[in-house]
Structure 1
């Protein structure tokens, strides 16, 4: 079984059930599945074959899910790309990923035309209409087709190729925090097993209405609020971009039951002055991932909106989910929960030996969700996959009941005079202060101690001073963990999923020092 064949089965059993809403229009499972088949057939007529690589430069839209499932039905490999990456970033992934077809929004048409000469491997461009009323004119370039024409050229009598569970379905390029991005190869088995297991773990069913506002090109969204709900027969509400006002409106209109977001989204929703708790009254579950959710924010949000936030953990190389706070046992604030179905997590030392409960080490993962490897990177693959385990690069600990706690990224740990300081524990203290909206902590070079703790804070108002915050930290932190400096900013740098970019803050500090 794979995602494409499962969709076909759902469409047969629940043909009239709504698969998704987009811009207040609904589409049934039968209509969705038909569009997927026609698109796969249309791709085949363009010369796309099983194993060819197709890039998606799309935001949250029906174009994305139809392209994703259509390409998988044909046996092609999908490479989702953040459409707001720079031309250099996009160009690297397209060339490194040996992309044959690009599917992009019409707003990117000028960029596609400029890059065409630099992409000799690309044979076709499929342009999606941002406005259904405005048909795209691609008649001047034989390589370019409109999305609607590709679907129209396909037919439902499409002869599908045989798919194997070890075939690569998606290549997800990591954010490239160290060097160039790496393409994690995820097989049909990886994606299907993780969507199925997390769907069952979170008890998703045909009655659920799931808010899909996380960017679909990101693996958190792809599995948790796209594939898992569709496997479960749920309805997804596709939201093009995050807006607190729109989230409250849609939650109330569609009586949403499941919401997933990153910590920054929860912070914006919590701070939104017109947010009505009654709009979230149908939520049975809120999901947080992408980065650690500050405990203070979790408690404040839950109290204000009377909902439960369940925090989990994942990474692209694991399709992505490995842990989640269980729904049938007490949730532990600050924890990423326990191992999900069919997945093992453990904490190891530098030699790969398992550590006892409470000790901090590297989190490693094993299961059917773990990637096949990095595309065209055998050395990096060998470093990440050892003896059947995926080494995540995250420092964590586990308690006696099997609940895991992320301490920090291995590379983000700050060493002050020989003592280990984990940025997250300092950030947790800062978030407890009533006048702090957001906070990020990094290690800054220091000639005497090697590194010192530097904090960046977004205050609620300008009256908050560095001295006041320093005094607060002295009351809650050991001396070696105290910030050397605290810098106030209007906002923190974030990526498109809302994750705070410590790397950008570190670069800013280094530039000032040089």
Structure 2
């Protein structure tokens, strides 16, 4: 075991020495299909340059297919120019924040690229939000102009007084927006603030992660290399149903296809039969879905495996059901492609930090300790460190720290959180993991605070902050409970006044005011268990939540 260095310089030297050893292991196990170096197809690390490039080189190639409609790269370029022109007409300037509050639809990426073309800041806003969450994000990001859906307009109007939003448009206004003159091209700055992607936090409400176009371009390029294909290959066709207001959906549904000049088949929701039909119709080559999604496909009563033969890259996300050798064997026997775990990542890193290609012989990735996340993508370094920040030996557990060209610049208006998370150029994830003899990452656990609900990240502190808006709550503590269908669910232990609401009333209130997937089960208690130093004994609550079947279950 290494002893803790006494100075920062000693600690950094220990990390560099450990990296040299780990990189040697990684080089020995690096698959031939994954390139170690790359050049951007447009020659620049911005999404704007890539859209302009493909509009000039492949103007008639399909960029987006949605609900049977196709958008070419020339049309994509013009439409985003017109959106930028409309923004100019309502007074948006470089650096201003523009919110896009939409589900999956072509208007979303068009608006995003129009915002980037103007040098403004893209703020994707979750359309599942209820009023408290929507108000927080709009106000925190200082959104001045918002594009939303017609059925969300009343909700948006209800929170405007608590924000600085001055212009709201809906997709019902799209024809008028598209009538705006095209904005004049301007150079795209790869290192200017380009997007505020919100992530849950361990203290209070979600925080805005500041990302640039360079972060986006690097993520798109390395996520492509991770599939074993080169950049700019027009034969690849991806399908995406992940919500593109989440950063993983942005990666696979917007920026990776765009950087490569490829078609993305964009879906508004998951429907296994419709997915199979469209994979066959459009010769889809790449799909990212949960393990449960792949099982839904296999369980279709009239499945024709030939419809799926175009698939060459099938990435599985183990949210509820975990990928195992039996599921992989069943998929391979029916379809032919190999299911692989997708990637390790988080909003702070733009999510695609590792790749798993090349480790599937004899299912050695699945027989390793869960969860196998693979090697870092080209240009990214990962270390496992102890509490003093010193690298631990291979095979030992510790905190995952990461260094890459795509980590956030900072948290918006939160210098303390930034300083706590980014130290010496390394992102301290708070996640627990280890590196194996190949130099591959194994993810063992999220920070003890995070709850994973159907793959969506929820922090207890966020649910607590939202629930405290109810006047009848005197004290609250939220912990996860395992759930066979959703992975985990939040359980809120609540102290109320003697004449306060009961469990059913609190759950009903939460359903009205909080995004559905965050609504907790509620258990009323006389007092929260406390330590001698005044801290809540979360361990006691975890045990009680695991054993409880609440009458106020959500």
Q: TM-score range by the shorter chain?
A: 0.7 to 0.9
Change beyond 3 A, Cα 1:281–1:173: same
Counterpart in the other structure of 1:223: 251
Counterpart in the other structure of 2:97: 53
Secondary structure at 2:427's aligned position in 1?
Answer: strand
Change beyond 3 A, Cα 1:113–1:453: closer
Counterpart in the other structure of 1:410: 447
CA-CA distance at 1:91 after TM superposition = 0.8
Q: Could you tell me whether the CA contact under 8 Å between 1:184 and 1:375 is conserved in 2?
A: yes
Unpaired runs of 5+ residues, structure 1, are 130-145, 414-422, 425-436, 439-451, 460-498
* d(CA) in 2 for partners of 1:190, 1:323: 15
* d(CA) in 1 for partners of 2:74, 2:110: 13
Equivalences for 1:404-483 in 2 at 5 Å? 404-411=441-448, 455-458=482-485
* d(CA) in 2 for partners of 1:192, 1:16: 23
Change beyond 3 A, Cα 1:508–1:51: farther
* 1:24-72 residue CA offsets vs partner (Å, 9 max, x unmatched): 1112111111111111111111100000001111111110010011100
* d(CA) in 1 for partners of 2:359, 2:445: 27
Counterpart in the other structure of 1:288: 316
Equivalences for 1:322-471 in 2 at 5 Å? 322-327=353-358, 330=361, 332-333=365-366, 334-411=371-448, 455-458=482-485
- Alignment partner for residue 41 of structure 1, among 72, 85, 88? 85
Counterpart in the other structure of 1:256: 284
Q: How many residues align?
A: 424
Equivalences for 1:70-469 in 2 at 5 Å? 70-119=114-163, 121-129=164-172, 146-155=173-182, 158-176=183-201, 179-202=204-227, 203=229, 205-289=233-317, 291=319, 294-296=322-324, 297-311=327-341, 312-327=343-358, 330=361, 332-333=365-366, 334-411=371-448, 455-458=482-485
* 1:455-488 residue CA offsets vs partner (Å, 9 max, x unmatched): 53359xxxxxxxxxxxxxxxxxxxxxxxxxxxxx
* d(CA) in 2 for partners of 1:453, 1:40: 43
- Range that drifts further, 169-178 or 84-93: 169-178
Q: Could you tell me whether the CA contact under 8 Å between 1:357 and 1:397 is conserved in 2?
A: yes
Change beyond 3 A, Cα 1:57–1:508: farther
* d(CA) in 2 for partners of 1:159, 1:178: 43
* d(CA) in 2 for partners of 1:319, 1:299: 31
Change beyond 3 A, Cα 1:306–1:291: same
* d(CA) in 2 for partners of 1:411, 1:86: 26
Q: Could you tell me whether the CA contact under 8 Å between 1:199 and 1:224 is conserved in 2?
A: no
Secondary structure at 2:139's aligned position in 1?
Answer: helix
Change beyond 3 A, Cα 1:300–1:395: farther
Q: Could you tell me whether the CA contact under 8 Å between 2:49 and 2:188 is conserved in 1?
A: no
Unpaired runs of 5+ residues, structure 2, are 1-43, 456-478, 487-515, 523-541
* d(CA) in 1 for partners of 2:482, 2:244: 31
Change beyond 3 A, Cα 1:393–1:267: farther
Secondary structure at 2:294's aligned position in 1?
Answer: helix
* d(CA) in 2 for partners of 1:268, 1:377: 42
Counterpart in the other structure of 1:62: 106
Change beyond 3 A, Cα 1:307–1:44: same
Q: State the TM-score, normalizing by the size of structure 2.
A: 0.70
Q: Does 1:3 align with 2:47?
A: yes
Q: Could you tell me whether the CA contact under 8 Å between 1:290 and 1:314 is conserved in 2?
A: no
CA-CA distance at 1:23 after TM superposition = 1.1
Change beyond 3 A, Cα 1:453–1:126: closer
Q: Could you tell me whether the CA contact under 8 Å between 2:202 and 2:449 is conserved in 1?
A: no
* d(CA) in 1 for partners of 2:111, 2:430: 32
CA-CA distance at 1:258 after TM superposition = 0.5
* d(CA) in 1 for partners of 2:90, 2:349: 32
- Identify the structure with bigger relative contact order (alpha carbons < 8 Å, sequence gap 6+): 2
Secondary structure at 2:357's aligned position in 1?
Answer: coil
* 1:188-238 residue CA offsets vs partner (Å, 9 max, x unmatched): 211111112222332162101110111111111111232111111111011
CA-CA distance at 1:412 after TM superposition = 5.9
Q: Could you tell me whether the CA contact under 8 Å between 2:395 and 2:434 is conserved in 1?
A: yes
Q: State the TM-score, normalizing by the size of structure 1.
A: 0.76
Q: Could you tell me whether the CA contact under 8 Å between 1:56 and 1:79 is conserved in 2?
A: yes
Change beyond 3 A, Cα 1:328–1:358: closer
